[in-house]
Structure 1
Amino acid sequence: MSDLENWIVGSSDTLWTWLVLPLVGVLGVSFTLRSGAVQLRMLPQMIRGLTDRTPTDEAGRAQSLSAFQAFTVSAASRVGIGNIAGVGTAIAVGGPGAVAWMWLMAIFGSATGFVEATLAQLYKHRDATGFRGGPAYYIQRGLGQRWLGFVLAIVLIVAAPFAVNMLQSFTIVETVTSSVTGGAPAWVGPAVASLVAIATAAVVLGGTHRIAVVTETLVPAMAVLYLVLGVVIVALHVDAIGPVLGSILHDAVTGQAVAGGAIGTVILTGVQRGMFSNEAGFGTAPNAAASAATTHPVKQGLVQTLGVYFDTFFVCSITAFIILVTRPDLAEADPGIALTHDAIVGSLGSWAGALLSVIVFMLAFSTILGLYFYGEANVEFMTRRAWALWLYRVLVVGAVLVGGIVSASVVWSLADLLLGVLAVVNLLALAPLSRHAFALLKDFSAQRRAGRDPVFTRDRLPGLRGVEVWEDERTVTGLAPRDDAQAPPTR
């Protein structure tokens, strides 16, 4: 590695080990206790929230994205290559025990996901096409620090829609070319990269609503396809399920890391890869959460909490079981997507490799769209000039094209470092602002106990500053005002 890459890798490791992960752990436990374990006790409400009615404007049109569309946009970025390659790396480095720490990270991290999504809803901005928001917005409006929100917006844009999307494009090209028997001709890579860039342009130039329409179709399709593939493989090795579960739980607290090192390596690998996958605390998913039209901020907070579970307990777990039931001996295992690929092909035959290529394309392309969406919200935070948004779109499409052609290992390391910086800024902002999320949760629960479908207006939290929307009940719901006696029963 070059001196620059060595510095980036060293800085990233230090940042994650001594700042990001301790912050994630402390805040995750704190938020769980202060919310009364909202991520566990309100699971039924999370599921119901996916089909919640979308408030309309005076013309009868949806005010913004629906709760389900916002969920699929965030899931598009969460459920990506990390669910295949990242889990493979975690197991190859940390062993089966890393999976248990991924699960634990999801449980406590989902409380952080609830807080950041709820705050994104509270401090969202209304524009001509719907709602926008995210960490940059709640840092400016909740903390009164626009400069810090500006810094976060820049880091997010460089890290997610540029650096990470280059990696997604590279993975698509690499997967396609490696699946060609006898080796792919030299023109195949650039051709695939060009097609991915064209497809990206066709979607993103249509705006956020087109992205939502594509993701609400693509995300369920890719998830079902991959889960079915995984269930088939696990069913073929049903006798191994018990021993695999035992090794996951046993090695989580007693095992040695496969790649060397003590239990600390197992914990660090599992927690870090878990956070990379489900994004709880990163400050990325709140950009999607803010775009939803809903009647109470907590509703979308709960829906996004479900997104953390969906990513980790379904998609990541099926990858872990695919690997562990087919390869109990992880000695000399290749980290990354190769481990998952070999497990699938070894169980089902070479045709399954082609199917995995299709799944990888769907995962990576959906991630490109989701991360583009996040970047657009932050471009609009910094400036409302139309030319800036068009320049951003062109640059993202260009990054996707270049990323598919040029392999730069330093981009991987830079993305890790930038995402760590992003997480630190977001987590430090959540600490003082979290009290508003818990006040909203208290209001939400009180309305439910009163038999109402909860509706929030900003006068319900006196003294709250910086809130732009949530003016009155008619505006929030798209319906005429109603008193408690007329309120429909809680859903």
Structure 2
Amino acid sequence: MDIIYITINIVNEFLWGKNILVFLLLVAAIYLTIRTRFAQIRLFPSMIRSLTENEKSKKGGISSIESLFLSTASRVGAGNIVGVIGAISVGGAGSIFWMWIIAILGSATAFVESSLAVMYREKKNDNTYIGGTPYIYKNRLNLKSIGLMYAIFSIICYLGVTQVMSYSIVGSITDMYDLANFKRYISIALVILVALILFSKNKKKDSIISAINKIVPFMAILYTAIVIFILVYNYKSIIPVFKEIIEGAFGVREVFGGTFGTALMYGIRRGLFSNEAGSGNANYAASIVTNTDPVKQGFIQVIGVFIDTLVICSATAFIILLAPKTELSGMELFNHVMRYHLGTIGEIVGVILMFFFSLSTILAVAYYGKNALYFIKESKKIEIFYGIFIVLMVYMGAMIKNEFIWSLADFGLGLMTILNILLILPLSNESINKLNEYEKKKND
């Protein structure tokens, strides 16, 4: 076990610590932005129309907006709060500007990988679709063995993510209300909730999708309403905050003071790791839609990147920057600024947000994991066993912070990203050709 742990840490240090993944994702984002001729900006109105068209899904099928909810659930998690706070704490306000830039660039990567996922997915016996990066390897390149590797890395990553998120939920509750003695009971309650969602029967829709369809809109509306209230109440400070962000990104003091590079790096890292563009995670969500147009489905995932980074992460940043500076960090800082803006109720709202952000991520990765398992071996028994294992991971993560399991999330995600980028860059022409056909037809 020690050898495995050491090996995983060495891989993580190489991929994450040496910024290998940051460089790879950044190069891919810039390259695909140029190749698509900034489609994420040029065609943004078309992307919004694709979202509002929202075709009705067939029985058991998934509509485009449901796919968006699913990918948003996996993208939006504890990192949208704690990660943004970390970026500001280390890189300053200027890191937010670079986070915005990388979201815009990275959305081109999201478009390419998601459209490819639709092009090379498969139809199941019940006439619903399934797909993702493993299926592109299998159906386009006839490299099922590498697809299997990606699927295995996916499951490894999701088991780690599940524990991180369950720890975030229970930790935020027990820390806020000093309920450490009741940690076991809170953990059991969370386990029961997750199990009910995973194993409930729904003839019309997958139970996870049904739950996410309710959770994501609720948490998005709640967070948006809170941020709008805070912005309106602090309207005189909005321009100074924007000024602080821009100056932090380009200011003379930052350049000569040596903090420019820190702001740049932390902004890029936060943006890349939050929106997940390039990892292939969202391919599992993009490929299952009833919609057969790969371009329009690519557009939907571009919107997902924008929602995650330009909306949710930015909302967290403004909540932090509109409050007085403090030496606090992490959730302690978030709860402090929520209390500053909203009074006593702010702490409660902070816990509620962390609960829904993290719960939605647990459900999303559980769904992605089922798709990965289906690729490895189609078996109802294995799927049930996987669900039980996810429930156990939720309980273990809620009770104990296991550094080894947590490291699996970074390990799995890092290797997924490598395999996904090495796949989509050579195949990007196929996605871009579809985009050109779409634009030609649109302009005729």
TM bin (shorter chain): over 0.9
Deviates more, 1:314-323 or 1:46-55: 46-55
Which aligned pairs between 1:52-131 and structure 2 lie closer than 5 A? Answer: 52=53, 54=55, 61-62=58-59, 64-129=61-126, 130-131=128-129
* Preserved contact between residue 32 and residue 111 of structure 1 (Cα < 8 Å): yes
Relative to structure 1, the CA distance from residue 255 to residue 25 in structure 2 (aligned partners, 3 Å threshold; closer, same or farther) is farther
Which aligned pairs between 1:28-67 and structure 2 lie closer than 5 A? Answer: 28-52=29-53, 54=55, 61-62=58-59, 64-67=61-64
SS in 1 for 2:129: strand
Aligned to 1:480: none
Counterpart-to-counterpart distance in 2, 1:406 and 1:176: 15
SS in 2 for 1:284: coil
- Please point out which of 344, 352, 363 is paired with 1:350: 344
- Please point out which of 130, 137, 155 is paired with 1:132: 130
Counterpart-to-counterpart distance in 1, 2:219 and 2:14: 35
Aligned to 1:324: 321
Q: Deviations over 1:262-317 (max 9, x none)?
A: 43322221111112211111111110010111131111110110010011111110
SS in 1 for 2:236: helix
Q: Give the aligned residue type for 1:285.
A: A
Relative to structure 1, the CA distance from residue 399 to residue 230 in structure 2 (aligned partners, 3 Å threshold; closer, same or farther) is same
Q: What's the Cα RMSD here?
A: 2.2
SS in 2 for 1:51: helix
Q: Give the aligned residue type for 1:303.
A: I
Aligned to 2:167: 170
5+ residue gaps in structure 1? Answer: 451-491
SS in 2 for 1:292: coil
Which aligned pairs between 1:378-389 and structure 2 lie closer than 5 A? Answer: 378-389=372-383
1:399 Cα deviation after fit: 0.6
Q: Give the aligned residue type for 2:286.
A: A
Matched, 1:418 2:412: yes
Relative to structure 1, the CA distance from residue 9 to residue 385 in structure 2 (aligned partners, 3 Å threshold; closer, same or farther) is closer
Relative to structure 1, the CA distance from residue 55 to residue 128 in structure 2 (aligned partners, 3 Å threshold; closer, same or farther) is farther
The two structures have a TM-score, normalised by structure 1, of 0.84
1:73 Cα deviation after fit: 0.6
Aligned to 1:14: 14
Q: Deviations over 1:32-75 (max 9, x none)?
A: 1111211111111212222335377xxxx446201111110111
Which aligned pairs between 1:243-282 and structure 2 lie closer than 5 A? Answer: 243-254=240-251, 262-282=259-279
* Preserved contact between residue 103 and residue 313 of structure 1 (Cα < 8 Å): yes
Relative to structure 1, the CA distance from residue 370 to residue 261 in structure 2 (aligned partners, 3 Å threshold; closer, same or farther) is farther
Matched, 1:449 2:437: no
- Please point out which of 290, 295, 318 is paired with 2:292: 295
* Preserved contact between residue 340 and residue 346 of structure 2 (Cα < 8 Å): no
* Preserved contact between residue 157 and residue 413 of structure 2 (Cα < 8 Å): yes
Relative to structure 1, the CA distance from residue 255 to residue 13 in structure 2 (aligned partners, 3 Å threshold; closer, same or farther) is farther
Counterpart-to-counterpart distance in 2, 1:7 and 1:93: 28
SS in 1 for 2:279: coil
Q: Give the aligned residue type for 2:302.
A: T
Counterpart-to-counterpart distance in 2, 1:245 and 1:113: 27
- Please point out which of 148, 151, 158 is paired with 1:150: 148
Counterpart-to-counterpart distance in 2, 1:122 and 1:311: 25
Counterpart-to-counterpart distance in 2, 1:212 and 1:263: 42
- Please point out which of 421, 434, 444 is paired with 1:427: 421
Aligned to 2:190: 196
* Preserved contact between residue 160 and residue 407 of structure 2 (Cα < 8 Å): no
Counterpart-to-counterpart distance in 1, 2:253 and 2:361: 33
- Please point out which of 388, 394, 404 is paired with 1:400: 394
- Please point out which of 404, 409, 432 is paired with 2:403: 409
Q: Give the aligned residue type for 1:39.
A: Q
* Between structures 1 and 2, the one with greater helix share: 2
Counterpart-to-counterpart distance in 1, 2:318 and 2:275: 18
* Preserved contact between residue 54 and residue 62 of structure 1 (Cα < 8 Å): no
* Preserved contact between residue 115 and residue 294 of structure 2 (Cα < 8 Å): yes
* Preserved contact between residue 54 and residue 63 of structure 1 (Cα < 8 Å): no
Q: Give the aligned residue type for 1:378.
A: A
Aligned to 2:179: 184
Of the two, which has the highest radius of gyration?
1
SS in 2 for 1:282: coil
* Preserved contact between residue 55 and residue 63 of structure 1 (Cα < 8 Å): no
Relative to structure 1, the CA distance from residue 55 to residue 236 in structure 2 (aligned partners, 3 Å threshold; closer, same or farther) is closer
Relative to structure 1, the CA distance from residue 261 to residue 139 in structure 2 (aligned partners, 3 Å threshold; closer, same or farther) is farther
Counterpart-to-counterpart distance in 2, 1:190 and 1:441: 52
1:136 Cα deviation after fit: 0.9
1:391 Cα deviation after fit: 1.3
* Preserved contact between residue 191 and residue 391 of structure 2 (Cα < 8 Å): yes
Counterpart-to-counterpart distance in 1, 2:214 and 2:376: 31
Counterpart-to-counterpart distance in 2, 1:234 and 1:10: 44
Q: Deviations over 1:147-196 (max 9, x none)?
A: 11111111111112x1001111111101111222xx2152x212221222
Counterpart-to-counterpart distance in 2, 1:11 and 1:295: 38
- Please point out which of 298, 305, 308 is paired with 2:305: 308
Relative to structure 1, the CA distance from residue 238 to residue 272 in structure 2 (aligned partners, 3 Å threshold; closer, same or farther) is same
